[in-house]
Amino acid sequence: MNRHRPNFTQLRERAERAIAEGKAGLALDPGGEKALELSHLIEELRIYQAELELQNEELIQAQERLAGVMERYRRLFESLPIPALVVDANGFIVETNQQAHAELGISHVALQRGSLFQLFDFPSRTRLHSLMRTRLDVGLHRLECMALKSGGEGKTCYDLHLLPLSLGPADERQLLVVLVDRSAEQALHLLSQELMQAKQAAEQANAAKGAFLANMGHELRTPMNALIGFSTLLLEGREAMTPHQRDYLQKIHDAASALSSLINDILDYSQVASGDLHLTPRPLDLDALLERTCQLYGPSAEKKGLAFSSLRDLDVPQVLAGDPLRLQQVLDHLVDNAIAFTERGSVQIRVERATPPESSGAPTTDPGCIRVRFAIEDTGCGLTPEQCQGLFVPFQQGNMSASRGHGGAGLGLSLSRGLVERMGGEIGVESQLGAGSRFWFTVPLRLVEGTEQDALEPVPTDTPAPSAPPVTATQPLDLDTLHLKLQTLVWMLDNRQGRARRLSHEIEFLVQGSDLEADYAPIAAAIARLDFEEALIGVRGLLRTHNWDLA
């Protein structure tokens, strides 16, 4: 059925006329045509009545839906967690929500009698005027960083979002205005800028600290080397001294050596912390590395009555490629700690093939490398779990009172951790109080080809080798032995080792009567007067002259 809008006035007039005429006609002709027409009219009225009832029902449902929508809008508008206002085309406030009253600090009456423009300072108000003068079509319009007039010195910034609520004439439209507080974001931006400036200042200070430590380290090393060198000469010389004098001199030598070791640790730690530490991988002999460690720390262990040993598993190749100096440095720290904190029992170094990294559980992806674990086990006092957690923190010891009984600044383990991580490995400890400790570190070492083993670097030894007998002019010069001793001498001179003087005497005997005697004489003289820098330049020049490898 096609529905159309009825004309109720015409319908009523027509009905009245039809009824009047019908009554008159019915009186004259009860069964005639007029009676039939009146019957049709009454039927048509009934149809219109039914249509009106349907339209009325639809109108009631539409009004109910509209009321529901308005209620949802009202609840949404009132419960918005941000300030929201409804303004007319001229910017006067029509309606506000509770958050606008609470956050903008304006009373309900004053807010609904005022204008949107009065909320902001002059620059923001000007921007808002410019936007309101244009035709705001359907869609969202945004003004960023609008400052409230009441903000004072600490102005509160808002982003203003405007949304047209109707499509009627321009002077009748209303706008929904939502204010989004950007103060926290702005403060965070300012804080990030301050943090960036602080970071740059810290980096500059760290660089200045590194330069200062490097300069001061070299300045301190010179008198320390003089103390160590001259005390070594006096202790090894034949000058007559009383027992008290020798004891005092030995204490001076030991204190200078300890201070020199601490200076070296501080400089190395500074390099590790700043990322300036460079590794020098080269072929190294693990057995020679272990032998050198045993020679260096064996007397200390023997003096305390400790059994000191080392063991390399057969599945670990003897020759691998890594940084021998840094490996030796980590081993020295761990072994020295193990002996220092062990009063009875044993200390053992074990080298074994490591399982995949403990932290990741994934095997190494480089087929040319293997992971090697160095473990130092002792039967010392052990550590609690709490002590183990802070063990690798700089200037921190498991027992802070240990520095009084055993010495040390608590820097060795932290430096060892930095060196191991720089080599791509990891370090840890397993310990139980009263049952000893097991310090370990794993590092990736590269497999060495057969041709690379010819360039194997000799591991320098800290224990004096037996003096070689004088070489006469008729004896042939052993160039291989001389090459190895010169390489070891380079290492000692570069690390300011006082034992370089003894090794220099051996080389003097070795080159005596040969063509190299005159070449080596200036080097020996420089070492004798403890000018290690000049001696190092001379030895390197001698090696280059004869095309010998410096490694």
Spell out the domain ranges in the chain: 39-73, 78-182, 186-269, 280-356+368-397+409-447, 479-546
> With 50 as the cut, is the pLDDT of residue 404 above it?
no
Fold exhibited by the domain 78-182: Beta-Lactamase (3.30.450)
* Segment 39-53 mean pLDDT: 73
Looking up tokens 């070791």, which residue turns up?
A: 261
Per-residue pLDDT reduced to its tens digit, 152-168: 445 678 888 888 887 66
Q: How many CB atoms lie within 10 A of CB 109?
A: 8
Task: Give me the pLDDT at residue 74, please.
Answer: 79
**Span 291-308, mean pLDDT?**
87
At residue 213, the pLDDT reads 72
pLDDT digits (tens, 9 = 90+) for 179-231: 888 777 777 788 888 888 888 888 888 777 777 776 777 677 777 777 777 78
Q: Is the pLDDT of residue 66 over 50?
A: yes
Measured distance CA(366)–CA(281) in Å, rounded:
16
- Name the 3-class secondary structure at 20: helix
Q: What CA–CA distance (Å, rounded) separates 18 from 36? A: 11
Q: What is the DSSP letter of 345?
A: S
For the segment 90-108, the average pLDDT, to the nearest whole number, is 79
Please determine, for residue 405, whether its predicted confidence score (pLDDT) is greater than 50: no
What is the CATH code of the structural domain delimited by 186-269?
Answer: 1.10.287.130
Phi, psi of 462 (to 5 degrees): -90, -10
Q: Decide if pLDDT at 473 tops 60.
A: no
How does pLDDT run across 495-525, given as a tens digit for each residue? 777 677 778 888 887 887 788 888 888 898 8
CA distances from 359 to 346, 363, 370, 386 (A): 29, 11, 16, 20
Residue 169, judged by CB atoms within 10 A of its CB (0-12, 13-18, 19+), counts as exposed
**Mean pLDDT for the chain?**
77
Is residue 349 within 8 Å of 335, Cβ to Cβ? yes
In this structure, which topology does domain 280-356+368-397+409-447 adopt according to CATH? Heat Shock Protein 90 (3.30.565)
* DSSP state, residue 116: G
Which pair of tokens denotes residue 537? 């330049």
pLDDT tens for each residue of 433-466: 888 899 999 999 998 876 555 555 444 444 333 3
Let me know if the fold of 78-182 is the same as that of 280-356+368-397+409-447.
Answer: no
Q: 459 versus 330: which is more confidently predicted?
A: 330
pLDDT band per the 50, 70, 90 thresholds, residue 272: confident
pLDDT > 60? residue 362: no
Torsion angle of the four alpha carbons 34, 35, 37, 38, in this order, in degrees rounded to the nearest 10: 120
**Mean of pLDDT values over 90-95:** 84
What CA dihedral angle connects 164, 166, 171 and 174, to 10 degrees? -50
